[in-house]
Amino acid sequence: MHSYYQKNRLKFKKNLINLIKPVSLEIEKITGSRFSVIIEEIWNFYEKNMLENFLYIGGDSVSGTSNMCGACCFIAMGEVLKKYNTPVEESGHLMTLAYERKYKKIPSFLKSLLKKVFTSPKLLKKMYMKKDRKNEENCRLNPGSYLTETQDPPEKGFDFSYHNLVCPISDFAVKHGYEEYMPYICNLDYVMFGVLGAPLYREHTCFEDGDYCDFKLKNGAPVMDYWPPVFTQGKGYK
């Protein structure tokens, strides 16, 4: 285990509990056990199979660390729930519910502010170009970490677009045999943007296409339904 993850074990455990707790009642119903018991089982799996094997991608200095570590909390949940005969599709639904409930708890004034940000192309371009430079710098120091590229001008028909060229979550899942969870993990982006009222559209993912994940926003367009998962809806989006 990298020293960064070892040092921050308790913080990661707290984050895991907070991320999965919104679906505690569903988990108790599925397993027939108290949430406190199952969450320890999930944490033990996460610590042994995730934290032990995570690539160091910059620690607290980059947002990608929380993205990778958070996504893998859901993979650990799915792996534990398999022991209780829970199919991956149901675990994917629990991920969606947990994420939806998390973002719906955001105060309405903050939600409105975030919506304004995600529907302001000029502001987004400025923010994400700064993020591109920071990610490029970090990637030189920590190969395998997130690398992004804001599209200027945006892709045709959209107000803002950027590409994620490297995805540590996908790389980790492929390397360690958790590929079946990736479409549901990717679908969580639609949950976040959907709750915030920002119309996200994506046709590529690092996992499925091997090239990049595209994030495209189109002001005034309808927000896509995120359940059933976007990748199952037959509209060409992932």
What digits encode the pLDDT tens for the residues 207-237? 999 999 999 999 999 999 999 999 999 999 9
10 in a domain, yes or no? yes
Q: How many domains does the chain have?
A: 2
61 in a domain, yes or no? yes
238 in a domain, yes or no? no
Beta strands in 141-226 (DSSP E): 147-150, 160-166, 200-201, 213-217
Half-sphere exposure of 42 (CA within 13 A, CB side): 32
237 in a domain, yes or no? no
Mean pLDDT of all residues in 82-107: 97
d(CA 101, CA 104): 5
Same domain, 30 and 66: yes
pTM of the model: 0.96
Spatial CA neighbour of 95 closest among 107, 115, 81, 110: 81
Token duo for residue 154: 């945006």
> How confident is the model over 66-78, as pLDDT tens digits?
999 999 999 999 9
Token duo for residue 95: 């991920």
pLDDT at 63: 87
Q: Is 165 helix (H, G, I), strand (E, B) or coil?
A: strand
Range of the structural domain that residue 61 is part of: 3-104
> How confident is the model over 142-191, as pLDDT tens digits?
999 999 999 999 999 999 999 999 999 999 999 999 999 999 999 999 99
> How confident is the model over 122-150, as pLDDT tens digits?
999 999 999 999 999 999 999 999 999 99
Q: How many CB atoms lie within 10 A of CB 6?
A: 10
Counting other chains too, the contacts that 127-135 makes at CB distance below 8 Å and 24 or more residues apart are: 128/160, 128/162, 132/162, 134/62, 135/62, 135/64
Domain endpoint, select from 104, 126, 149: 104
138 in a domain, yes or no? yes
Same domain, 76 and 132: no
